[in-house]
Amino acid sequence: MGLIDMRVLAISGSPLKNGNTSRLINAIVGDLEKSDITDLKVKEISLAGSLIRPCKSCRKCMKEGHCVLKSDDFSRIVRRMKKSDLIIIGSPVYFHDVNGQIKNLIDRSYSLWHERQLKGKKVIPVAVCAESGDDRTLETLKIWAQAQEMKIIRTVSGRGFKAGDVLKDKSAMNQVSDAAKSVAGEVKSEKNN
């Protein structure tokens, strides 16, 4: 890993650039930055304004090893995913599940699944709802991570309707600090091995 202890990619699927999902993810990143991980490189991607087309089921990725759909933001995000050690992937809850942007991203990552190109990467699934549906949303993200043979460190979920509300959710903030501690613990135990 060179001099950098950990490369983190934080993806917020919300169409609101500074909505609850981004803020909850930023809280995790903030705690990671305060942790004793000595060298952290963080890249944040908001899917607000990004275009991720749906999977066409052309199945060309089975042979090519990558998605052949061009002219959208998917390949840029994949490049980042491949470079990172930890992926924080957050979705706003829409009708008790991930939103469309995140679903498209997940489905297009079928192209990475055949050769398990994300295998072993650490992941923290994140979900924010107003009232309910976060559990089912996290389940979708966890099933994706498990299928990709990634290592789920923790999940984080929060409640909020208006942008910023989630930062007042005490349970969410506790989960944030637990998640950051778990990541730091992982880095330490990897160093000792």
Ligand X SMILES: Cc1cc2nc3c(=O)[nH]c(=O)nc-3n(C[C@H](O)[C@H](O)[C@H](O)COP(=O)(O)O)c2cc1C
Query: Which residues, in sequence order, are CB contacts of 47 under 8 Å at separation 6+?
Result: 11, 12, 13, 14, 15, 73, 101, 102, 105
**Quick check: 48 binds ligand X (CB under 6 A)?**
no
**Can residue 88 be called a binding residue for ligand X (CB under 6 A)?**
no
Q: Which one of the spans 26-34, 73-81, 93-101, 141-149 is the region binding ligand X (CB under 6 A)?
A: 93-101
- 170 burial class (0-12, 13-18, 19+ CB within 10 angstroms)? exposed
Kindly report the number of other CB atoms within 10 A of residue 11's CB atom: 26
In angstroms, give the least distance from the CB of 20 to ligand X: 4
CA 38 to CA 57: how far, in whole Å?
42
At closest approach, how far in Å is the CB of 172 from ligand X? 11
Contact between 167 and ligand X by CB under 6 A: the answer reads no
Of 2, 36, 57, 95, the residue at the interface with ligand X (CB under 6 A) is 95
The answer to whether 160 touches 154, Cβ cutoff 8 Å, is no
d(CA 9, CA 6): 10
Q: How far is the CB of 153 from ligand X (least distance, A)?
A: 21
Binding mask 124-143 for ligand X (x = CB under 6 A): ----xxxxxx----------
Closest separation in Å from C-beta 192 to ligand X: 37
| Residue 93 binds to ligand X (criterion: CB under 6 A) | yes
Residue 57's CB is within 10 A of a number of other CB atoms, namely: 8
Smallest separation, CB 171 to ligand X (Å): 15
Determine if 42 is a binding residue for ligand X (CB under 6 A). no
What residues contact 74, with CB distance under 8 A and at least 6 apart? 52, 53, 67, 105, 108
Residue 45 lies near ligand X (rule: CB under 6 A): no
- CB of 114 closer than 8 Å to CB of 65: yes
Question: Which segment (38-46, 51-59, 88-96, 182-190) binds ligand X by CB under 6 A?
Answer: 88-96
Residues that bind ligand X (CB under 6 A): 14, 16, 19-21, 92-96, 128-133, 160-161, 163
